[in-house]
Structure 1
């Protein structure tokens, strides 16, 4: 069953169909609908990331024929074969800030999102600040050994706001707490790129309870779908007028109706699960609650697992602050998994590793059985820091690598 947030006018659907069928790689799947006067949105096929990637050459040719410029941004993949996306250089910001105004001309925004490498968030927040008339400090990501000096610098400027992925906001706050440094005077925290939950939410509530959170939800392909304000739950977003959202069997589909949209976003499968809700912020429009990824399972030693099942058990161990899964040579006969733990200062490392290992292997369905004959396939280790994506500065839940782990770091029982 498909539930549609609001009706999509026939004329708008025709406009979007026209843009999509202008791309040669997609035309065969859609041209039959051009002559059907009774066609509705739900008659059309779902557009997947793979189909959109296959249409890249046509999308680039389309962009070159437009009267406005476009950015090429990366949305995933590897450095050898990245998934690429084209976004108008205006990034829809004039329309977005009509419905989401996190900054005013009195603000000084420190942009902690990483610039370059085809990553989009840095440019986006600079543009949001520009439209507000705010001062912007385009700092980018800062390593811990430089963080104190840069925080002193932004303090001297009188910074009032920052933007960063939630895991990086948590890192900055944790750093200040660990060295006894006064917290920066950020009263506004702007975020995107990952959910604001778990460790990041707990640290923010504890250390900066009066800060106001402003988030946006979307993807590099569809761009910003919805916006989140301080009175909204952090998993709930108000859909922008130029975006049309459907929920099909729990899966989020989006159609971008903006006339400057470069990507052929027509019933695009974003990759998330969601539902429509009444937001407690009091706005009259229904909002989109994001419930997680729509295909979160992974296969490890012949069984299907939800990574969150493992991390939830590990996080419940006393002293554990955050958890990350690392898969070594995933999908190969010698694949291994390591559960990495960030713990509170003073937490006994070995005892915590042992307890987390026992709990995960007994509480996660079939995992203990699957690794019982090869206990070296599964290890748990306390680490000083988790792996961070150097391009996006996100902290992924699951990391995959071909590098074989150092035996000295294992704790097989």
Structure 2
């Protein structure tokens, strides 16, 4: 049987509670639990992103009294009002690499994650490589028009591994595939930030059949929750010892028990659905399988739908490599949706746009009815690239055009 949630030892829970109560914005909510003779996690409220964001000033004050330093990282929001997170400067790397060792001292790692702008992944992978005694090339994200020269450069240095988001990995491998450029001698791919998509998995299998994948799962607020190794499915992660994970009605809740944790991560609702499973890699410890987001519904044209319902129908069409939904004037009476497609080379664009459009409006419950009287509200476009975050290099499933500065695609054919 898959392992169930183990109880968090009462002494550990009281230590976490005591640290949380030190934060003024959270004291009234949590101090009463310290007076109970017996308290369990189930007695405590779930911590939301909004509550955590409201405690930022207290978290910063607490961090200034700690004997170790802390990084301030951005975890989302806007440039005007970013959601901020504090992580100890050691980033728990020593604890993580006791259970996850993607690099050895003879590796040369190319760090493709974006540095700066309070983004955390670049610093994290530099630290992982340092701990392993590996050589690091802290390159950062590279645009396609510079990619050939930089790949030549890292090839000359003998790079053996890269780290990036799965979107970046797919883009780099697709660039080599489409241009005929030999891939550098990468034997390891380190990834985080988003799920390992079908698009990334397909091109990885084809171009790097012997490549070894090493992933980490977590968030900027909670930090690394679980680790993934080459023999693990890419949606399955082994929980690191300083994290305690609960599954409540399918929702992932995490408590960070590390004494150096700065953020008050106590039954934190990370925003994902999950389940405990036996991992086929054979490790005896519990594994967490991520099943998707726990807040996935999207309201469009007065109906609620799951974005994955749309994208799965589109991906099932032969020739489609990847899919993204772009919303224009979302929530307004004249809102529109573009289903953007990456397709296999030599795929007839107009034909596949028409086919995807026809299947989506007939197979996605109520969507065809919702746009039937206003067909211009839904378009399908073949594009050369999907919208990717310049900061994180992630490819979001749903993009709000005005927030992201995205213009509508030029019509290629079919539905307008």
If the length of structure 2 is used for normalisation, what is the TM-score?
0.97
Match of 2:411 in 1: 409
C-alpha separation in 2, matches of 1:103 and 1:70: 25
Q: CA deviation at 1:4?
A: 5.7
* Closer/same/farther in 2, CA of residues 392 and 111 from structure 1, 3 Å limit: same
On the 8 A contact 2:250/2:273 being kept in 1, the answer is yes
Match of 1:18 in 2: 18
Which string of whole-angstrom CA distances, capped at 9 and with x for unpartnered residues, describes residues 170-206 of structure 1?
A: 1000000100011111000000011113100111011
* Closer/same/farther in 2, CA of residues 178 and 407 from structure 1, 3 Å limit: closer
**Matches for 1:224-263 after TM superposition, within 5 Å:** 224-263=224-263
* Closer/same/farther in 2, CA of residues 28 and 116 from structure 1, 3 Å limit: same
User: What value does the CA root-mean-square deviation take over the aligned residues?
Assistant: 1.3
Greater mean alpha carbon deviation, residues 172-181 or residues 4-13: 4-13
C-alpha separation in 2, matches of 1:348 and 1:380: 13
Is the aligned partner of 1:370 residue 2:378? no
Match of 1:44 in 2: 44
Q: CA deviation at 1:409?
A: 2.6
C-alpha separation in 1, matches of 2:410 and 2:154: 41
C-alpha separation in 1, matches of 2:297 and 2:305: 5
Is the aligned partner of 1:197 residue 2:197? yes
C-alpha separation in 2, matches of 1:59 and 1:335: 39
SS in 1 for 2:174: helix
Q: CA deviation at 1:31?
A: 1.2
Match of 2:379 in 1: 379
Is the aligned partner of 1:79 residue 2:79? yes
SS in 1 for 2:323: strand
Alignment length, in residue pairs? 411
Which string of whole-angstrom CA distances, capped at 9 and with x for unpartnered residues, describes residues 115-169 of structure 1?
A: 0011100000000000000000000000000000000000000000000001110
Match of 2:145 in 1: 145
Match of 2:337 in 1: 337
* Closer/same/farther in 2, CA of residues 4 and 11 from structure 1, 3 Å limit: farther
C-alpha separation in 2, matches of 1:159 and 1:153: 9
On the 8 A contact 2:401/2:407 being kept in 1, the answer is no
* Closer/same/farther in 2, CA of residues 408 and 157 from structure 1, 3 Å limit: closer
On the 8 A contact 1:4/1:247 being kept in 2, the answer is no
Q: Unpaired segments of 5 or more residues in structure 2?
A: none
Match of 1:126 in 2: 126
Q: Unpaired segments of 5 or more residues in structure 1?
A: none
Q: CA deviation at 1:5?
A: 2.2
C-alpha separation in 2, matches of 1:405 and 1:370: 23
* Closer/same/farther in 2, CA of residues 404 and 95 from structure 1, 3 Å limit: closer
If the length of structure 1 is used for normalisation, what is the TM-score?
0.98
Regions of 4+ moved over 4 Å: 403-408
Match of 2:309 in 1: 309
On the 8 A contact 1:247/1:253 being kept in 2, the answer is yes
Q: CA deviation at 1:407?
A: 8.0
On the 8 A contact 1:73/1:120 being kept in 2, the answer is yes
